[in-house]
Chains A and B, each alone.
Chain A
Amino acid sequence: MPKYLLLKHYRGAPEPHRPVPPMDQWAPEDVEAHIAFQRHVIELLEESGEYVDAQALTPVRTWVRYGGPDAAPVTTDGPHPETSDLVAGWFTIDVESHERAVEVAAYVSSEPGPGGAPLYEWIDVREVMSGAPSDD
């Protein structure tokens, strides 16, 4: 079965379908519902036998490259630190098909936002290259 990453982005996703303010400006009950939904997704995937992993990333990024022999690594926070693509976290799932991965991603995207209405967040669906021999 193929594995997929369902990536959430702090920024760099397509134009939001539903622009929303930062979470600290939501009503407290909407924040509760949103956080509870994340846990609910994991439980659902565990029940369906498709859950592999879920992780969140802090928004701090350091770009690093080899500095050359006897030199310290070269670091920067990026060419356009305010606008470049930034991953916020992911669910890893192990599913039957690409269609199922898209279905799960759409469900993740239906997470409640302000007012309890769906957030319509863009989810970046990426297939993990398999170590197994390909069957085609």
Chain B
Amino acid sequence: MIDEPTRRLDEGALRVLVPRVLAGLVRRGEDFDAAEDALQEALLEALRVWPEHPPRDPRAWLATVATRRLVDARRSDAARQRREEATYAEPPPAATEEGDDTLFLLFCCCHPDLAPPSQVALTLRAVGGLTTREIADAFYVPEATMAQRISRAKRVLAGPPARRLDQPGDLAVVLRVLYLVYTAGHIGPPTRVDLAGEAIRLARQLTLATEEPEARGLLALMLLNHARLRARLDPEGRIVTLDRQNRGLWDTREIAEGVRVLQSALAARRPGRYQIEAAIAALHDDAACAEETDWPQILAWYDDLVALTDDPERQDPAAVLGRAVAVGHVLGAAAGLRETDRLREVLGDRHRWHAVRAHLHELDGDLPAAATAYAEAARRATNVAERDHLVRQAARARAAGR
């Protein structure tokens, strides 16, 4: 019997190797789909065998077992026999940088032809080294469903991947997928798999592989939000809004790292949405108490964020809504409410729009209007914790306004 810490250590070390081994196989000419399957089998085998028989060279072990699986799979298919021989006649691949492997695989998994849930699942398996079971658990679907989603995604990618990859614009998809993974972990209830931590790990690898400042912007944004995660829920699991959070629970080391990463990104002077959102998060993190929040600066960054799109109300309503809050704090609640009016048509049916208006009414001292808007928001919430939070806010505003 191996104790838990040892086993966890093994898993961590094992998962770091996954993208490297997989990239090695794909570069050697293996089909992405088959190689990924073979490596997944090798991974499960490793989880079973390693606790008692740790390998001397884990990476070589994985590569060998995965290759054996590939050969087994091909042996059953005589027509492919010749290709097998051809593959093994090739010289071993030259050693490549770990960062290149990660980037290469992220481009594979975040292929623009795939739907976001497939991109997320494939990334977590092929780059994150999670098992299908772990990914299924993290998204609350049966393992068979997740396995099917992954194999359908891989069918889309069938064929030599390198040809379609590394096109400009693909990095934006990779960033979005990593942010989706992060958000799922940040908002969702805790699962055995720490998705937010996983997204940060992958984003950190990505920043080693590309000079693109938006990659660092994304990493900074994740770090600066993650720093507040512990304060986001109270011990009973209730949501605590930013202005009421115990700032002593914020992770100052994570904030410091986030600020450092953001500064290095901004130094490139090529701003983008993740860098701007990270700057806003940094300003929130920087305030010793809610009253000290530098709202004029936050508003200035929101102005930049909104300016990134031609028609922000339609293309980026979330940015316009965030800006309305900042307007409310800088120019007054009435001005903020006027800003939200511009979004009525686009977001009027979403809980967040009503929640923001409730907050602004409250800022304005109009508690009955705030209570009504919170209740409207609660009716439209799609998440139990948020719904409960909004009902509480409604009752609180209603009681205080009486």
Contact = CB atoms under 8 A, between A and B. Distances in A.
B388 to A, nearest CB: 5
Contact of A31 (B379, B380, B384, B391): B391
A23 to B, nearest CB: 5
Query: What bracket does the count of chain A residues touching chain B fall in?
Result: 10 to 19
Interface of B is mostly: helix
Contacts of B396: 28
B374 interface: yes
A35 B388 contact: yes
Nearest to A59: B379
A107 interface: no
A35 B384 CA distance: 10
Given A35-B388, A56-B387, A28 B380 contact: no
Interface string B377-400: 011111010011001101110110
A23 B391 contact: yes
Interface in A15-43: 22-28, 30-32, 35-36, 39
A24 B398 contact: yes
B371 interface: yes
A58 interface: yes
Interface in B197-226: none
A27 B388 contact: no
B375 interface: yes
A25 B236 contact: no
A60 B380 CA distance: 8
B236 A24 contact: no
Contacts of A26: 395
A25 B384 CA distance: 19
A28 B374 CA distance: 13
A31 B392 contact: yes
A58 B398 contact: no
Contacts of A28: 392, 395-396, 399
A32 B236 CA distance: 11
Interface residues of B, number: 20
Residue among B236, B382, B384, B395 with max Cβ neighbours from chain A (10 Å): B395
Contacts, number: 40
A12 B387 CA distance: 22
Contacts of A30: 395
B236 A23 contact: no
Contacts of B399: 27-28
A59 B392 CA distance: 18
A74 B388 CA distance: 33
A116 to B, nearest CB: 14
Interface in B324-379: 371, 374-375, 378-379
A24 B387 CA distance: 11
Contact of A58 (B371, B382, B395): B382
Contact of B374 (A24, A32, A56, A59): A24
B205 to A, nearest CB: 36
Nearest to B349: A60
A64 to B, nearest CB: 19
Contacts of A39: 236-237
Given A36-B236, A59-B379, A24 B384 contact: no
A79 B303 CA distance: 46
A56 B384 CA distance: 7
A36 B378 CA distance: 17
Contacts of B237: 39
A22 B375 contact: yes
Residue among A22, A24, A25 with max Cβ neighbours from chain B (10 Å): A24
A31 B395 contact: yes
A24 B380 contact: no
Interface in B24-64: none
Given A35-B388, A36-B236, A56-B387, A23 B395 contact: yes
Contacts of A35: 388, 391-392
A25 B398 CA distance: 7
Contacts of A32: 392
B136 to A, nearest CB: 16
Nearest to B236: A36
B382 A24 contact: no
Residue among A22, A28, A36 with max Cβ neighbours from chain B (10 Å): A28
Interface string B219-247: 00000000000000000110000000000
Given A28-B395, A58-B380, 11 more contacts: A22-B375, A23-B378, A24-B371, A24-B398, A27-B395, A27-B399, A28-B392, A35-B391, A39-B237, A56-B387, A58-B382
For the complex of A and B, list the 6 residue pairs with the smallest distance between their C-beta atoms, beginning with the closest.
Answer: A24-B394, A24-B375, A31-B395, A28-B395, A28-B396, A35-B388
6 contacts: A23-B391, A23-B395, A27-B399, A31-B395, A32-B392, A35-B391
